[in-house]
A and B are shown apart, each in its own frame.
Chain A
């Protein structure tokens, strides 16, 4: 496999990825915690009261970042799915699979906080608004990805099918959003959401951006952690995985394991053979 000399493939080897994630996650957790504190402080105590909505608008500081993260994570998941399908890099599938639950959680939180925000401002927890409906459909797409990935007996096969689904979904998301928008304008002319309120105060914007960064760091940390576990699950018998699970993965062990790791079918065009070969190795590992 000549492709190993390309440096950006270094972290496609599970042991290297594991080491990198180990080094990154403490910083991500710390950054997320700090920014959550700062963002919530600015959001609750510094940002002024909205003259139309009073204090209820403050849920925006959770609602908007989670909605953004939900959409962003779906696209990221589809991107990793594409990397997995094209280059067969297994860690890409592990990342995509690790993203799905967090993406679903973010989408769910966006819907949940939206309902809580809607109750005082619109007088209803749920309306069939275009944005709400398309966010709900996004949640279903996440759930479909997870269900399809879990349904296959073979992890690789499930990963490929789910990756294809994620890509099809990513192509469809704009079409769904457009059609739902069309449907909404058709049925009720006046909009329920009034976005033409007062322009946002700088403190509000600051709180919003800080909270978005905090959610981004949180998602990165939890996704990396989940991908680490996924990497361990895939090679339960390997020496590095045993050491890592015990919390004592030495640098030497990691480098030795990375030098012999199966990244995927990188640089190998005879896909049928290598696939069965790799499946066989995996089966051995499992036993």
Chain B
């Protein structure tokens, strides 16, 4: 079972990497959204520094949302998803493998890039480390929650906009805790509490979200 899931993970990664365009689009989206903040708010370093954690986190949440749009759509359209659902592996684990591949290919680049963007908004030193760490813990939760939305909106009219309406409210806790950790770090106070809670969120989402995704996929395949 482990081997076939590993194969699925590799296949999904290979598919995403083959279409490098997709990865680049999401990364470019992330950078552009962050660029909009200084343009809209003004270039004063102090002001930018205050909004930096929120800006990077909002951009990451939106990038995660738009990249998840097609997580299951291609496999659903060509029938691969049906085959995966019929395979002996539990659908929840299949979903987890797909989300993991998606996160490695599309969210890790954002995490890696985040210190540079944080620096451009005026964050320094350890704040950048906290920013990257909070994104490292938080973006998997975003991917897991977003995957539920992607599965629920499979084959539904106006899928993309609907998915934003369904999923963004569920993103709220992650956003609050993630951006909160960085803000705490800026004031030299205890940011570990936020990161711990974020980790707790990941620990809860990791076993539960795949079950919800599998349930939603079954509804879509019915």
Contacts and interface: CB of A to CB of B under 8 A. Distances in A.
Real complex partners, A and B? yes
Interface string B189-216: 0000000010001000000100010011
Given A143-B165, A151-B158, A186-B180, A179 B170 contact: no
A183 B165 contact: no
A172 B201 CA distance: 11
B153 interface: yes
B191 to A, nearest CB: 11
A164 B176 contact: no
Residue of A140, A141, A144, A172 most packed against chain B (CB within 10 A): A144
A275 B208 CA distance: 27
A165 B148 CA distance: 9
B123 to A, nearest CB: 18
Contact of A165 (B157, B166, B172, B201): B166
A4 interface: no
A47 interface: no
Given A147-B165, A164-B215, A182 B222 contact: no
B121 interface: no
B41 interface: no
A286 interface: no
Contacts of A37: none
B219 interface: yes
A137 B169 contact: yes
A161 B173 CA distance: 23
A218 B169 CA distance: 28
Is chain A's interface secondary structure helix, strand, loop, or mixed overall? helix
Interface string A144-174: 1001100111000110110011001101100
Given A151-B158, A182-B176, A140 B212 contact: no
Contacts of B165: 140, 143-144, 147
Contacts of A275: 222
B219 A161 contact: yes
Contacts, number: 79
Range of interface residues on A (Cβ < 8 Å): 20 to 34
A162 B177 CA distance: 27
A161 B170 CA distance: 16
Contact of A144 (B169, B172, B212, B216): B169
A248 B193 CA distance: 64
A175 interface: yes
B32 interface: no
Interface in B136-157: 148, 152-153, 156-157
B76 to A, nearest CB: 14
A179 B176 contact: yes
B162 A168 contact: no
A144 B165 CA distance: 6
B183 interface: yes
A160 B170 CA distance: 19
A137 B172 contact: yes
B183 to A, nearest CB: 7
B170 A148 contact: no
14 contacts: A140-B168, A140-B169, A147-B162, A147-B166, A148-B152, A151-B157, A157-B219, A157-B222, A160-B222, A161-B220, A165-B152, A169-B169, A179-B173, A182-B176
Given A137-B172, A152-B156, A178-B173, 7 more contacts: A137-B169, A140-B168, A148-B152, A151-B158, A169-B170, A183-B176, A272-B222
